[in-house]
């Protein structure tokens, strides 16, 4: 955005803006390599779009200020609010005569799906918003510029990663306002009325966290002390820690910045996901898999992959936790669990495949599909660190229940068998072992400030290889 602002608002030449970008010291080198590609992809998408919509007769001009639609009330409403401001984040353009406005909604990788409500809201803000600026935490103030409200608005989605572009709306202003009333207004009304707490990775940007009831406070959960230098609050999952242990640069690019190239996923990952999706659907409907009909096809898998996946699903029947589960017990499929370590200022996130109650305690079930038995000979908690985090979270009282009645189950599914291992979060030796495994992963992560590449076998097929100099050198050499 900094580079595009320089190009579009300050008139800096593209190459000069990119050179400025590469002089920054506050970004990872691979981040800058990605950003250069992203800027070029975006500008190419803009150029193609301008040719397609050349019938407007005028090149659209970039708009620096936000568009803001303000509703001022005569008296405070039931929430005590006197004013509502609606904005839409993206990049903005207008025809020279001001009759056409476009708002471009941005995605990091490819164009992503948007709801009718999002599209209608962006279009309505473009149709009715006035150019305005605001300091942080202050009301927007209109900017004195000439111009009128537009007769036509477009909402365009663009993916920085691949330059993909889709026109989501091309409406006259009345249509945008109509769609806002129909699709967006009910959603916004629900949002401002809602008082439910929804802890998750968004807690890292929340100013209310310190006075919030969620996430549960679990000091020293990761077994790591506060780093010497204070840093921004972060969230972390076991997948983050494992990725960081494999390659800090890969962690930074794919887990912190969410960048990914269009590399196809491995067969094992797709197969595992298809098995998970099928099981989750059964469990959500509270169906016992022992009596379920096996699927003939699974979305996204080849015939050969389907055959293997279906054999694994068949093996699950013998260990399905719903088999014999009384209807009075609770069941949650892929519930998000969070915990907050105030010492480290880190929100810890876990998504158990299945949570269910058993006589007053919670059971945390993780299901893994595997072609072979790779963990044998290694301690279970080391081979599957998400189990170690499960032990620590349950020992700290997340998700709740009587700790002596809580347990963790690891379900392993092969083509030719299944196994179910049990772990107990009230067993001190298990907790010590779990603490050792997690702090060994979390310690280097918590103190890392440079995220250097660890070139190795993982470089081949890495989603971030495209922007990684050391990784490209390594793969070229081998």
The binding site for Zn ion (CB under 5 A) comprises: 289, 320
Quick one: 383 or 420, whose CB is closer to Zn ion?
A: 420
Indicate the residue among 199 and 321 with the shorter CB distance to Zn ion: 321
Distances (CA, A) of 87 to 112, 181, 354: 20, 16, 38
Kindly state the smallest distance separating residue 320's Cβ from Zn ion, in Å.
3
Closer by beta carbon to Zn ion, 127 or else 289: 289
Min dist. Cβ of residue 200 to Zn ion (A): 26
Minimum distance between the CB of residue 362 and Zn ion, rounded to whole angstroms? Answer: 17
CB of 292 to Zn ion, least distance (A): 8
What Rg do the C-alpha atoms of the chain give, in angstroms? Answer: 26
Cβ proximity of 53 and 93 under 8 Å: no
Residue placing its CB nearer to Zn ion in the complex, 164 or 415: 415
As given in the structure block, the two tokens for residue 186 are 């009910």
Pairs from 26-32 (Cβ < 8 Å, separation ≥ 24): 28/249, 28/252, 28/253, 28/451, 29/469, 30/249, 30/252, 30/253, 30/453, 30/464, 30/467, 30/468, 30/469, 31/252, 31/253, 31/257, 31/259, 31/467
Phi (first) and psi of residue 459, to 5 degrees? -65, -35
Nearer to Zn ion, 289 or 350 (CB): 289
Least spacing, CB of residue 288 vs Zn ion, in Å: 7
Distance, CA of 247 to CA of 234 (rounded, Å): 18
Structure-derived torsion over alpha carbons of residues 47, 48, 50, 53, reported in degrees to the nearest 10: 180
Query: Nearest approach, Cβ of 124 to Zn ion (angstroms)?
Result: 45
Q: Which is nearer to Zn ion, 289 or 298 (CB)?
A: 289
């Amino acid at each position: 955005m900094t580079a595009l602002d320089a190009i579009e608002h300050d008139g800096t030449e593209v190459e000069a803006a990119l050179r400025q970008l590469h002089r920054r010291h506050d970004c990872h080198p691979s981040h800058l390599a990605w950003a250069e590609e992203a800027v070029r992809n975006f500008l190419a998408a803009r150029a193609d779009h301008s040719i397609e919509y050349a019938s407007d007769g005028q090149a659209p001009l970039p708009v620096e200020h936000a568009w803001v639609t303000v509703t001022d009330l005569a008296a405070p409403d039931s929430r005590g609010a006197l004013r509502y401001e609606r904005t839409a984040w993206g990049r903005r353009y207008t025809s020279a005569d001001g009759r056409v406005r476009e708002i471009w909604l941005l995605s990091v990788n490819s164009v992503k799906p948007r709801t009718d409500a999002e599209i209608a809201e962006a279009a309505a803000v473009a149709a009715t918003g006035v150019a305005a600026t605001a300091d942080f935490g202050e009301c927007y103030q209109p900017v004195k510029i000439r111009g009128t409200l537009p007769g036509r608005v477009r909402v365009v989605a663009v993916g920085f990663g691949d330059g993909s572009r889709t026109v989501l709306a091309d409406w006259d202003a009345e249509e945008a306002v109509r769609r806002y009333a129909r699709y967006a207004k009910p959603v916004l009304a629900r949002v401002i009325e809602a008082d439910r707490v929804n802890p998750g990775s968004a807690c890292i940007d929340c100013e209310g966290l310190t006075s919030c009831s969620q996430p549960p406070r679990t000091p020293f959960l990761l077994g790591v002390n506060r780093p010497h230098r204070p840093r921004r609050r972060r969230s972390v999952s076991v997948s983050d820690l494992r990725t960081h242990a494999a390659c800090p640069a890969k962690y930074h690019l794919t887990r912190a910045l969410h960048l990914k190239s269009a590399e196809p996923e491995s067969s094992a990952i797709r197969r595992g996901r298809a098995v998970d999706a099928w099981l989750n659907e059964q469990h959500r409907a509270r169906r016992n898999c022992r009596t379920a009909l096996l699927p003939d096809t699974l979305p996204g898998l080849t015939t050969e992959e389907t055959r293997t996946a279906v054999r694994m699903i068949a093996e699950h029947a013998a260990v399905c936790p719903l088999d014999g589960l009384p209807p009075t017990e609770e069941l949650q499929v892929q519930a998000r669990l969070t915990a907050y370590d105030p010492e480290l200022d880190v929100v810890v996130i876990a998504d158990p495949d299945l949570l269910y109650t058993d006589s007053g305690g919670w059971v945390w079930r993780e299901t893994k599909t595997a072609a072979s038995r790779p963990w044998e000979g290694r301690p279970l908690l080391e081979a599957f660190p998400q189990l170690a985090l499960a032990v620590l979270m349950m020992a700290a009282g997340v998700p709740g229940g009587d700790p002596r009645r809580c347990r963790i189950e690891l379900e392993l599914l092969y083509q030719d068998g299944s196994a179910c291992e049990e772990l107990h979060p009230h067993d001190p030796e298990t907790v010590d072992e779990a603490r050792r495994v997690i702090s060994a992963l979390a310690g280097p992560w918590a103190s890392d400030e440079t995220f250097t590449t660890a070139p190795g076998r993982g470089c081949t097929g890495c989603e971030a290889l495209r922007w990684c100099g050391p990784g490209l050198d390594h793969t070229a050499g081998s």
